[in-house]
Amino acid sequence: MQPIDLTSVEHLLEGHVDVRRRPGSIQPLRYPAAEHEYYDVFTRWVASTPAGVRLRLRTDSSVLQLKVRQRAAAFNDAPRAAVWRVFVDGDPHGEGAVSGGAYLKADGSLQGDERAAVKIELPRSDNEVEVWLPQTATVSIDEVAIADGAHWAPWPDHRRRLVFHGSSITHCMEANTAAGAWPAVAARLADLNHINLGWAGSCLLSGLAARIIRDQKADGIILKLGINVHGEGLLKERTFLDSAHSMLSIIREKHAATPIVVVSPIWSPPREDAGGQGGPSLKRMRELLQTVVAARQKSGDDRIRYLCGLDLFGPGDRADLPDELHPNAAGYARMGERFHKLMLGRDGFLLG
């Protein structure tokens, strides 16, 4: 096997914000590495998982092998699968065979050896290969290698690019693979590039997140807001409205005419009518976000739209909401299909 130098590997990555460089390894991040200390420990972890990050290259190699350091999530000491999804020439091509890797337990301790190997068998011809990293684990790449005598070349993604931001319901750890997240499903149906800035438990309508979105190349921006500030009543009505407007104003500093869709929370039965510790209920959040968008439209912004989360996932989808909060894989796929139809189909707002 012949390794590809890590500097080149870094340029084969798509869907990330930054890279953490260590001697002999690189780690894709979904936040700026220089701002590491700005975030709480939990947010750093979820924003370090490579949800939506892909390795893209052209190669005639019959095999692709990676040496990585992988730390998968374990909730209630039940490990989440960390799946490496592979596409060849745009078509599904199974999963990489993974050996090794550790699990990060709730107390912060590791179970197992984080060193892991990923082997991907490929057709013996010139191929465009896209490898989706797992959305349920942090991954540092030590080596990417192809067969001896094989060739490789970059395969940059020059398609129009969507930027998604949201909570665990945009991060989509419950999807079977990162390619099954609803932003990925919607983007694939529209043949678009995308970056998934869904941060599980950490979509706080924050200025830090807004600055990241502001600084991204984007042909369309989707903000799915609300659920992560519900549980502890982190934002009351006044601060909820102010935070939503502040986030949009920061993004507009560099995206004055970029289409923006503000998506309110999907259906969650225990939270529909009840707010957490004095904060608004989900029903009220939908009203507030609709008010935010209407105010900006009234002020002259004709490149912003409101989308009710119930149009993506509502009471009729209850069978695919096992914990009454997070959709399962089928639910996420349906959300992606519906978002595509509503916003990315023929004459859709985001493609207009």
pLDDT tens column, 283-294:
999 999 999 999
Burial class (CB in 10 A: 0-12, 13-18, 19+), 256: exposed
pLDDT given for residue 26 in this prediction = 98
- Of residues 104, 90, 74, the one with CA closest to residue 179: 90
Average pLDDT of span 123-131: 92
pLDDT given for residue 77 in this prediction = 67
Rounded distance between C-alpha atoms, residue 217 and residue 230, angstroms: 30
Amino acid present at 235: L
Average pLDDT of span 93-120: 92
Contacts of 291 (CB under 8 A, 6+ apart): 241
Amino acid present at 180: G
Cβ–Cβ under 8 Å, residues 16 and 30: yes
Cβ–Cβ under 8 Å, residues 87 and 14: no
Q: Which domains does the chain have, with CATH numbers?
A: 2-154 (2.60.120.260), 161-351 (3.40.50.1110)
pLDDT given for residue 344 in this prediction = 97
What percent of the chain stands above pLDDT 90? 92
**pLDDT, tens digit, for every residue of 196-206?**
999 999 999 99
pLDDT given for residue 31 in this prediction = 98
pLDDT given for residue 40 in this prediction = 96
- Residue 80: pLDDT band (50, 70, 90) is confident
The mean predicted confidence, pLDDT, of the chain is 96
- Residue 276: pLDDT band (50, 70, 90) is confident
**pLDDT, tens digit, for every residue of 220-264?**
999 999 999 998 999 999 999 999 999 999 999 999 999 999 999
The total of other beta-carbon atoms located within 10 Å of residue 318's CB is: 13
Q: What's the distance, Cα to Cα, between the start and end of the chain in Å?
A: 47
- Inform me whether the pLDDT recorded for 352 exceeds 80: no
**pLDDT, tens digit, for every residue of 15-26?**
999 999 999 999
- 337 SS3 class: helix
- 63 SS3 class: strand
pLDDT given for residue 136 in this prediction = 97
- Of residues 25, 27, 8, the one with CA closest to residue 17: 27
**pLDDT, tens digit, for every residue of 137-192?**
999 999 999 999 999 999 999 999 999 999 999 999 999 999 999 999 999 999 99
- Inform me whether the pLDDT recorded for 34 exceeds 70: yes
- Inform me whether the pLDDT recorded for 106 exceeds 90: no
**pLDDT, tens digit, for every residue of 285-338?**
999 999 999 999 999 999 999 999 999 999 999 999 999 999 999 999 999 999
Rounded distance between C-alpha atoms, residue 72 and residue 49, angstroms: 9
Whole-structure pTM over 0.95, yes or no? yes
Cα separations (Å) of 197 from 48, 210, 301? 10, 11, 24
Angle at 116 between CA 113 and CA 118, to 5 degrees: 165
Average pLDDT of span 99-122: 92
| Residue linked to tokens 């986030």 | 247
Chain centroid to Cα 6, Å, comes to 24
- Residue 35: pLDDT band (50, 70, 90) is very high
